C-alpha cells in the first residue's frame, strides 16, 4: 500500500525564494461546498490555511449564494438568509479571514443557492489583475475581457484598456449559456472596457477567467455528470466544447491578452473527473460499481469515474496539448496485478474529495473512507514550465479532517517559478 502523506510539497529552496512584487507566486483553488457555513463555523481552519500557504490568488467554487437581480457579480439581499450571507461575506473581506484580499471576480447563480464561483486576490498583488470575465472567449484575437475598472469588484484599469478594440473575426464560440444582468443589458458599454458589449456570465456562475501579466487562469466548476440521460448530455456538451476551445488555443499558440501578447493558459477547479480511476480514487472497483444504468455502459459508475468522462478528459489533454500538472510532477504506478485494494493509503494527501462519516457511527457513512482526486490543474506545455509544485492540502480518513476546512473538498495550491528563476533555468520562452 502506498502511504506517502505528501507527494507534492514545495522544496525548501522554493520556500526560501524571494518573489518579486510584480509576480504571482502561487494560487489556490477550493470547492467550499457553500460559503455561508464555512464563514460561520470554519474560520479558524481557513485562517490557519491562509497563514500557512499565503496564496496570491484564491479561487472559490460552489459558493451557493444567490445573485442580485442587477448583476450576477453582486450577492442578493432580497431575503433574510441572503442578507445574512452578504453580511458574513462582507465581514470576511473587511475584518475577517479574507481581510488581506480583494474580490477580483464573482459569478453567482441568478435564482438558486447552487454553483457560483469567485476569485480573491491579495491586496498587494491586485495591481497585477489585467481583466476578469465570466464566460468563454467569443472572438479570435481577444479574450473579450473587461478591464478591472469596468468590473463591479475591480480596481484601476491598465493603459492598454483605454485603446479602442480592433475588429476581429469570430473563432472561439462561447458554449456556456450567458445571461447578462438587466442593468448590463440595458446600459451602454463602460468607457474603459477593452471591447464593447455587456459583461456576460455563465448561466449558473460556473466560470471565472482571470488575465494576469503573463498568463490566464480559467477556473471552472464543472457540472456533475449526474445519473440520467439529460445530465449525461449536458456534461458531454460541456466537455466537447472545452475540448474545442483548447484545441483552438493550441492552434493559435495561446490566448491573446493586453497589447496583443500571446499568453499561456491554466485551467483549474473542481473539474469533476478522475484522470485515472485506478490511482485517483481510493477504491476503483467500488466506485465503478456505483449507479449502474441501462444503455451506454460508459455512463455507469460514480459521477467523475465513468469510462466516458475519463475518455473525454484524456481526449482533452491530447487535442488541447494540455498537461495534468499534479500527475506530471508526481508519477504514480498502477497497482500490480492481484494487488488488494485500496492500493493507496486513504489518509495520504493525494485525494481532493472525501466522503462523510455516518451520523450514528463513522462506518455507517456510504462514502466513509472513500476518496477521489477531482480538483485538478491543467496547463499548456508552455504554462507547465512555470509550475514549481502542486500540493493537495487535505488528508485524513474523511472530510471531517480539519485540513478540509468544513468542505468535502480540500484546497489545491500551485506554486509558480519566478521570471528570474525561469531565465536562469533557460526555460523562459523555450520551445
Alpha helices in 176-330 (DSSP H): 182-186, 229-252, 284-288, 307-320, 325-329
Find the catalytic residue in 135, 214, 239, 270: 270
In the annotation, is 409 catalytic? yes
Instruction: Label residues 307-326 b or e (16+ Cβ within 10 Å = b).
Output: ebbbebbeebeeebbbbbbb
Distance (Å, whole) CA 136 – CA 207:
8
In the annotation, is 221 catalytic? yes
Residue 409 assigned to a binding site: yes
Find the catalytic residue in 68, 214, 219, 221: 221
Task: Please list the helix, strand and coil fractions of the chain in percent, rounded to the nearest 5, in that order.
Answer: 30, 20, 50
Distance (Å, whole) CA 126 – CA 16:
23
Q: Which of 117, 55, 30 is nearest to 411 (CA)?
A: 30
Residue 84 assigned to a binding site: no
Q: Which three cell numbers stand for residue 313?
A: 478528459
**Beta-bridge partner residues of 148:** none
In the annotation, is 270 catalytic? yes
Q: Which of 73, 223, 247 is nearest to 150 (CA)?
A: 73
Query: How many residues in the chain?
Result: 431
Query: In a 10 Å sphere around its CB, with 0-12 CB exposed, 13-18 middle and 19+ buried, how is residue 164 labelled?
Result: exposed
Residue 270 assigned to a binding site: yes
> 375 — alpha (psi -120 to 50), left (phi > 0) or beta?
beta
Find the catalytic residue in 201, 219, 283, 409: 409
Residue 408 assigned to a binding site: yes
For the annotated catalytic residues, the residue numbers are: 221, 270, 409
Binding site for Mg(2+): which residues?
31, 62, 270, 272, 408-409
Amino acid at each position: 500500500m502506498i502511504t506517502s502523506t505528501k507527494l507534492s510539497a514545495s522544496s525548501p529552496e522554493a520556500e526560501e525564494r524571494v518573489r518579486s512584487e510584480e509576480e504571482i507566486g502561487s494560487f489556490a483553488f477550493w470547492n467550499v461546498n457553500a460559503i455561508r457555513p464555512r464563514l460561520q463555523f470554519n474560520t479558524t481552519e481557513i485562517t490557519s490555511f491562509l497563514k500557512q500557504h499565503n496564496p496570491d490568488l484564491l479561487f472559490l467554487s460552489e459558493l451557493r449564494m444567490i445573485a442580485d437581480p442587477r448583476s450576477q457579480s453582486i450577492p442578493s439581499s432580497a431575503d433574510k438568509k441572503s442578507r445574512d450571507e452578504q453580511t458574513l461575506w462582507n465581514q470576511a473581506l473587511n475584518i475577517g479571514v479574507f481581510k488581506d484580499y480583494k474580490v477580483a471576480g464573482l459569478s453567482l447563480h441568478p435564482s438558486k443557492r447552487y454553483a457560483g464561483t469567485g476569485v480573491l486576490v491579495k491586496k498587494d498583488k491586485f495591481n497585477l489583475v489585467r481583466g476578469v470575465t465570466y464566460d468563454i472567449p467569443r472572438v479570435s484575437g481577444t479574450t473579450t475581457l473587461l478591464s478591472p475598472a469596468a468590473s463591479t469588484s475591480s480596481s484601476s484599469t491598465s493603459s492598454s484598456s483605454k485603446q479602442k478594440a480592433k475588429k476581429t473575426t469570430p473563432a472561439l464560440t462561447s458554449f456556456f449559456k450567458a445571461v447578462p444582468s438587466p442593468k448590463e443589458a440595458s446600459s451602454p458599454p463602460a468607457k474603459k472596457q477593452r471591447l464593447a458589449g455587456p459583461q456576460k456570465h455563465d448561466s449558473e456562475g460556473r466560470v471565472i477567467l482571470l488575465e494576469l501579466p503573463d498568463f490566464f487562469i480559467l477556473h471552472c466548476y464543472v457540472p456533475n455528470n449526474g445519473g440520467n440521460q439529460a445530465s449525461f448530455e449536458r456534461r458531454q456538451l460541456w466537455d466537447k466544447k472545452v475540448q474545442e476551445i483548447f484545441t483552438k488555443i493550441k492552434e493559435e499558440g495561446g490566448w491573446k491578452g493586453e497589447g496583443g501578447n500571446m499568453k499561456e493558459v491554466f485551467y483549474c477547479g473542481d473539474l469533476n473527473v478522475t484522470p485515472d480511476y485506478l490511482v485517483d480514487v481510493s477504491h476503483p472497483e467500488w466506485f465503478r460499481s456505483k449507479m449502474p444504468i441501462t444503455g451506454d455502459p460508459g455512463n455507469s459508475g460514480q459521477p467523475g469515474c465513468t469510462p466516458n468522462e475519463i475518455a473525454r478528459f484524456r481526449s482533452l489533454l491530447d487535442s488541447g496539448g494540455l498537461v495534468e500538472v499534479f500527475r506530471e510532477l508526481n508519477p504514480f504506478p498502477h497497482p500490480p496485478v492481484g494487488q488488494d485494494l485500496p492500493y493507496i493509503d486513504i489518509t495520504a494527501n493525494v485525494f481532493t474529495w472525501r466522503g462523510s462519516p455516518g451520523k450514528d457511527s463513522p462506518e455507517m457513512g456510504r462514502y466513509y473512507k472513500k476518496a477521489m482526486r477531482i480538483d485538478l490543474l491543467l496547463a499548456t506545455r508552455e504554462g507547465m514550465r512555470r509550475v514549481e509544485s502542486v500540493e493537495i492540502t487535505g488528508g485524513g480518513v474523511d472530510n471531517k479532517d480539519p485540513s478540509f476546512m468544513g468542505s468535502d473538498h480540500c484546497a489545491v495550491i500551485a506554486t509558480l517559478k519566478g521570471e528570474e528563476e525561469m531565465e536562469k533555468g533557460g526555460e523562459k520562452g523555450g520551445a
